[in-house]
Amino acid sequence: MFSGIVQTVGTISEYIQKNEGAVLVVDTDLSAFEEGESIAVNGVCLTVVDSTATTFKLDLSTETLSRTNFKNAKKGDRVNLERSLTPATKISGHFVSGHIDQVGEIVSIEEKPGEVLFRFSYPAELGSFIMEKGSIAIDGISLTVFDCKDNQFTVSIIPFTLSHTNLSSRKIGDLINIECDMIGKYIYKACESILLSGDADKQVSLDMLRRQGILK
C-alpha cells in the first residue's frame, strides 16, 4: 500500500528483456532494501529481488509490461519511487495500491505562473472511475482531477511536485501509468449490479442503501 507521495526519483540503469518479461535495475539514493520488499516504481507495486548500496533489482511480469508504461522503458529513464506504507507512516496523499488500471498519454503541457497544467487522455473504459475533483495516481503521484471531459482530464502541478518527480522531464506523447481511486472502484463494484439493474426495487434510494447495509 502506498499514498502517492513520491519520495525520490531514480534512474533506470539496466533494462533487460527476459523471455516475455524483463529485469529492471534502478539507481537510487534510497538505501537499506530488503529482499521481498515492495516499492512503487512509477506507481507500479514491484518486489525488490536484489539490491546494493545504490541500486535495486526488480522482475517485470508479462502482465506488468502489458498494463504499464514499462513496455517502453529504456536505460536512462527517470522513475518515481515510493516505499510501502507502515502503520506509522503519515498519509499525505490518498490510498494507492500500486495496481495500474491502464496507461494514458500526455496530450498537452501548459506553463502558467506558479503551476504547470498537464492534460492526459485515458481509455474510455476508465470513465466511470475518473471524476471532477477526484483523486488519481499518475506514475504514482497522488493528484486531483479537473476539467474532465471527452476521455481527457487536467491536473495542476505545483513547482515542488514538478521538481521532485519525473514530470519535470515528461513531454507530450509520453505514456503515463493511471491508477484510479481505489475506494471509488470498490464502491462501483459493490453497486454495479444495482446500478445496471432495471428492477425498480433496486433503484438507488436511501431505503435501498439501508437494505444493503450501506446506511444505518
What does 156-176 look like in DSSP terms, one character per residue?
Answer: EE-HHHHHTSGGGG--TT-EE
Provide the pLDDT for residue 113.
96
Task: Examine the domain organization and report whether 111 and 55 are in the same domain.
Answer: no
**Residue 133 belongs to a domain:** yes
Give the domain range for residue 24: 8-83
**Spatial contact of 146 and 135, defined as CB atoms under 8 Å apart:** no
Task: Examine the domain organization and report whether 126 and 175 are in the same domain.
Answer: yes
Q: Which amino acid is at 40?
A: A
**Residue 119 belongs to a domain:** yes
**Residue 77 belongs to a domain:** yes
**Residue 146 belongs to a domain:** yes
Query: What is the number of residues in the chain?
Result: 216
**Residue 88 belongs to a domain:** no
Task: Examine the domain organization and report whether 200 and 167 are in the same domain.
Answer: no
The helix (run of H) or strand (run of E) holding residue 155 is strand 152-157
**Residue 93 belongs to a domain:** no
Tally of domains in the chain? 3
Kindly list the distances between the CA atom of residue 117 and the CA atoms of 37, 95, 143, 146, 167, in Å, as whole numbers in the listed order.
34, 23, 12, 10, 11
Task: Examine the domain organization and report whether 129 and 163 are in the same domain.
Answer: yes
**Residue 96 belongs to a domain:** no
Task: Examine the domain organization and report whether 124 and 70 are in the same domain.
Answer: no
Per residue of the chain (216 residues), give pLDDT as tens: 899 999 999 999 999 998 889 999 999 999 889 999 999 999 999 999 999 999 999 999 999 999 999 999 999 999 999 999 888 777 788 889 999 999 999 999 999 999 999 999 999 999 989 999 999 999 999 999 999 999 999 999 999 999 999 999 999 999 999 999 988 888 878 777 666 665 555 556 667 667 766 666
**Residue 94 belongs to a domain:** no
The grid coordinates listed for 96 are 494507492
